[in-house]
Structure 1
């Protein structure tokens, strides 16, 4: 599996854990979607051979049918397709971009897919020598606090029931960080084989600018290295990317998410 595939598989795998389902499949292309938070719909090639045998007109009709099933309140991230042939992947992504442009879909979120190679990353014993106390949580009360902090950090609402749904998955860790017993930051890690996906890294508004996100990420990276994982992957916002650049993360590809 390539690093691009590792990043995409981790991200869409987490959306599936959140409760996404296949919405409909047409000629080997499947539309998946979260009917509640995080409100993502996306395309996957689920039968590469069938897609390769489609005429351009057949492919266009299939995609047109699927994209019309995306509700107006949901976001459609344009991810690199990795399960089809180069020809099919290119044809679908080109059609999607043209369709979005021609039908006035709005770009609402820009992210950069990134990775960190843990095998060449030096250990950082100082990652545990600070005031930030990071704990894995699972109780309903702690999850409520996690959601409150995360909502404040990102400025959007999170469905608490979705977070409660994933709390007992062995591959998922909900992390809540405290300073002097006060909750200040959140993160969620999702492990797929030897890949650690880092998601929902957020710091309370009144605690931002103090290096808390950097300390939290250093702890996550150090623990991932101690657990003999190979890669850390994530999707950085424009605001967050400079931090990941400083930590040594490399760039994979850009993700644009659109709404009607």
Structure 2
């Protein structure tokens, strides 16, 4: 499995799992949907390789893109703007699928105490810290219903929660890094790099072979600095 396929498999597997455990998951002929009613994540529509412009446009018109984000990658990603961009449907974000082999990974000195979520109280605190970092909600119930399969980490500095990370290792030993962020007032202090470093160390200790993630424009420079390579682009659309 090449790096792009590893990345997408991990990402889609996480979306499916969360929908199945905490909300609803539907698989159609050419697309899939994962939605959690009391959260703003994953709440995604994504497409199989055989999807065409017409299929994507029909799905965009059929479903409520105020609640669901429509994600596109692959052969149509460079031209899909011509089909989807209207007065109602807009490009909400562009992400960069990135990967790094973990064989070359080395752990560094810690600035943050990284603690795994294990109960309702820490799940609520993780949810609150994540919302401060990203300005959208992953409900604590979603965390509680999935934390046996998904590792949720909360980073502390001097006893104060400063950031979050999610580690999802799939059956191919790909370590997906998700939801990694730092609250605004604690940024530019090295905390994001340290949370990432510790999360990668945990992945390596659990015999993961490759780390993958989907970076924003703001996050991309950090990941390049840490040794990740850009493999592909994801475009996300909403109304």
Matched position secondary structure for 2:13: helix
Q: Give the whole-Å Cα distance in 1 for the aligned partners of 2:185 and 2:111.
A: 17
Give the alignment partner of residue 241 of structure 1, picking from 220, 223, 229: 220
* Match status 1:149 vs 2:132: no
Q: Give the whole-Å Cα distance in 2 for the aligned partners of 1:130 and 1:95.
A: 43
2:177 maps to 198
Shift of 1:253: 0.8
1:41 maps to 45
1:86 maps to none
Q: Is the 8 Å Cα contact of residues 41 and 70 (structure 1) preserved in structure 2?
A: no
Q: Is the 8 Å Cα contact of residues 32 and 43 (structure 1) preserved in structure 2?
A: no
Q: Is the 8 Å Cα contact of residues 169 and 208 (structure 2) preserved in structure 1?
A: no
Larger Rg: 1
Q: Deviations over 1:63-98 (max 9, x none)?
A: 554333221312111122xxxxxxxxx4x6678443
Matched position secondary structure for 2:9: helix
Q: Give the whole-Å Cα distance in 2 for the aligned partners of 1:33 and 1:4.
A: 21
Q: Give the whole-Å Cα distance in 1 for the aligned partners of 2:33 and 2:110.
A: 42
Q: Is the 8 Å Cα contact of residues 112 and 157 (structure 2) preserved in structure 1?
A: yes
1:130 maps to 110
Q: Is the 8 Å Cα contact of residues 18 and 34 (structure 2) preserved in structure 1?
A: no
2:14 maps to 14
Shift of 1:30: 2.7
Give the alignment partner of residue 205 of structure 2, picking from 201, 222, 226: 226
Q: Is the 8 Å Cα contact of residues 40 and 75 (structure 1) preserved in structure 2?
A: yes
Shift of 1:104: 5.4
**Alignment: residue pair count:** 230
After superposition, the CA RMSD in angstroms is 2.2
* Match status 1:118 vs 2:98: no
Q: Give the whole-Å Cα distance in 1 for the aligned partners of 2:77 and 2:44.
A: 17
Q: Give the whole-Å Cα distance in 1 for the aligned partners of 2:77 and 2:186.
A: 40
1:66 maps to 59
* Structure 1 residues not aligned, in runs of 5+: 52-58, 81-89
Shift of 1:217: 0.8
Structure 1-normalised TM-score? Answer: 0.80
Q: Give the whole-Å Cα distance in 1 for the aligned partners of 2:79 and 2:59.
A: 12
